[in-house]
Amino acid sequence: MNRNIIVMAIAAIGFVLGLGLLGNAIKNRNKSENTISVTGLGTKQFTSDLITWSGSFSKNNFDLKLAYDGLLADKKVINDYLISKGIKQNEIIYSSVDIQKQFRNYNDANGNSVQGEFSGYNLTQTVSIESKEVAKIESLSRNITEIINRGIEFTSSSPSYFYTKLTAVKQEMIATATKDARERAEKIAENSESGLGSLKKATMGVIQITAPNSNEDYSYGGAFNTTSKEKVASITIKLEYEVN
């Protein structure tokens, strides 16, 4: 008899506790649903303050030493030219020399490509410049044919543009995006005759840097345009607020 009473008492306590837990679950569920999620946008347009440019030059000869001597002679002409254009020596960087053996290839009776006799050495070296004098390096890259006119086999690449104060830009955009999201949330709450509660969650997107007025696609990891001197950066902030 006593044992049955104890079992019934335990069952009753368990039932009461279960109702309490269920009530809390319903309360918390309703609370979590009573929220506003908004996304704010921050943008900033700026001009690059750092430029990089590179070009390569090469020399061919059956004799390796003669090829190397010819490459050194071309290097001196290129270096003197860059210095004459106002480029500082410490801004000019040369890569190591790449040496490739060249062979004349031909097709056999079956049409297969076959490596033929040795046709000489091809030596290539790259020169690169990094500078904050953007306009000067831009002009240099456009007029580099002056080196070609001196009989040097030179291939120029397009300049790449960067910005050294990106951290400050990012902080400014985050502040703008956060303010934008907050104002959107306040407007939604006002229109629904509710009050904006405390902030529950904030999520920041990745920074996207593209050329102005371009159709460049944003990427999951963040876009970073280096081909345009003028750039526009954007970032999103997602805020989740409780609603009173």
pLDDT above 80 (res 10)? no
20-76: pLDDT as tens digits: 444 444 344 444 468 899 999 999 999 999 999 999 999 999 999 999 999 999 999
3-state secondary structure of 187: helix
Structure tokens at 1: 């008899």
User: What pLDDT, on a 0 to 100 scale, did the predictor assign at position 29?
Assistant: 43
Q: Say if CB 64 and CB 122 are below 8 A apart.
A: no
Give the pTM.
0.76
- Average pLDDT of 182-204? 92
- Split at pLDDT 50, 70, 90, the class of 218 is confident
Structure tokens at 43: 């943008």
Please list the alpha-helical segments (H only) found in the chain. Answer: 2-33, 64-84, 134-142, 145-148, 166-191
162-186: pLDDT as tens digits: 999 999 999 999 999 999 999 999 9
- Split at pLDDT 50, 70, 90, the class of 89 is very high
- Split at pLDDT 50, 70, 90, the class of 17 is very low
